[in-house]
Amino acid sequence: MQIKPLKHIVIFEDEQYNTFPSLVVNRNGIVVAGFRQAPDRLRTHGLEHIDPSSKAVVVTSEDGENWCSKVRILYDDYFYGVQDPCLNVLRDGTILSTIFMWKVAEREDVEDNPDYHHGIFHHWAAKPVGSYTIRSSDGGQTWDEPIPTGIEHTYIRGNCAELDDGSILAPLYGYEEGTCHVIVAKTENKGRTWVKYAIIPAEDGYDFYEPNFYRTRSGKLVAFIRSTKKHIEPGEAYTACPLFTSESADNGLTWSRLVKHPYYSPSPFHVLELESGHVLLTYGYRYKPYGIRAILLDPECGNLADAKETVIREDGHGSDIGYTSAVQLKNGTILVAYYYSIAGEEHRYIAGTLCELAAGASAEGDAF
């Protein structure tokens, strides 16, 4: 089997800078897309993924192809820029969203504060103010107040994993001793309190960002992790950001040594279990030709070495694209969402591609 793109669609577009989508299907069968929305400052300042005016919003669709034209607020903060809402549907129907936030200040006011380590347009500086969880009990229409994880100096962009006992593992990441690594947080009350549960051991020479947790049918946990090589040698530009994975057989308490795979992108990797039992891995391809790619895996994600990459599209305007998220719709069609624009388009928007599973050259692990 292979993934076959059918149709490209626009999920949401306006004159703002819409990025970093996350899809779920709620308990009523409605497709919910959460994403970050911020003013488009390309003409006045340039591209920047930190903005004190950014907020988390959602739009919905009954069929995954036709979307409402107005956003609902997931969370908007008066002081902080809200980043990267990632949606997770729990077994009881609750939608749990993770976010992280930035505080922005005048550079001259914080020049002696090392926490403001990210410069913005030469005039401002930003510091992270933590990772948070926020819940919806009505399918994404309304949301309660965000609650901090309490684990300092961390970020989150990636899906959580719900265990059999109802506890949830969240894939945080943050710097420690000069290396960015993955931190596993755990909650037993839907994100109202968290503990630092485990660390995935780092691999020398790389920083690790935006992990995504996936729980296989057997109960094994797999972390799919974006990476960047710390010291990039000439000729390594296209291979400096490989996919790494790590596995846990004890519900996230201990993790295997990281394994590097020959799939490359400075954009996170999303994972979805399909009705067929296949596991769909998608990501934004931020090199020429810019676009979206997919890999079809076996149920235990054991065929990464042999799996074949499918090009979903390759008409992107440049590297500011990607951050995929996918769901399978009622009719079996697969919707892969991402942020995008093509040559000649002024604004970045939330786009999607409708796909199907089709017969093709069999990869090892297809027969299960």
Return d(Cα 10, Cα 71) in angstroms, integer. 14
- Model confidence at 261, pLDDT cuts 50, 70, 90, reads very high
Q: What is the pLDDT of residue 363?
A: 41
Closest C-alpha to 316, from 352, 291, 344: 291
Q: What is the pLDDT of residues 77-130, one digit of tens each?
A: 999 999 999 999 999 999 999 999 999 999 999 999 999 999 999 899 999 999
Q: What is the pLDDT of residue 167?
A: 98
Q: What is the pLDDT of residues 285-317, one digit of tens each?
A: 999 999 999 999 999 999 999 999 999 999 999
Are the C-beta atoms of residues 313 and 292 closer than 8 Å to each other?
yes
Q: What is the pLDDT of residue 45?
A: 87
User: If you average pLDDT over residues 7-11, what whole number do you get?
Assistant: 98
Q: What is the pLDDT of residues 167-216, one digit of tens each?
A: 999 999 999 888 999 999 999 999 999 999 999 988 999 999 999 999 99
Q: What is the pLDDT of residues 223-251, one digit of tens each?
A: 999 999 999 999 999 999 999 999 999 99
Q: What is the pLDDT of residue 346?
A: 85
Q: What is the dihedral of CA 166, 170, 77, 17, to 10 degrees?
A: -120
Closest C-alpha to 223, from 262, 205, 249: 249
Which helix (H) or strand (E) is 83 found in, with range?
Answer: strand 81-89
pLDDT above 60 for 145: yes
pLDDT above 90 for 73: yes
Measured between its terminal Cα atoms, the distance across the chain in Å is 12
Segment among 3-12, 66-75, 113-122, 272-281 with least mean pLDDT: 113-122
- Write the DSSP string, 193-211: S-EEEEEEPP-TTEEEEEE
Are the C-beta atoms of residues 324 and 338 closer than 8 Å to each other?
yes
Q: What is the pLDDT of residues 29-59, one digit of tens each?
A: 999 999 999 999 988 888 889 999 999 999 9
Q: In the CATH scheme, what is the code of domain 2-358?
A: 2.120.10.10
Q: What is the pLDDT of residue 365?
A: 43
User: If you average pLDDT over residues 61-65, what whole number do you get?
Assistant: 98
- Kindly list the domain boundaries of the chain, sorted by start residue: 2-358
- Model confidence at 366, pLDDT cuts 50, 70, 90, reads low
User: Whole-model pTM?
Assistant: 0.96
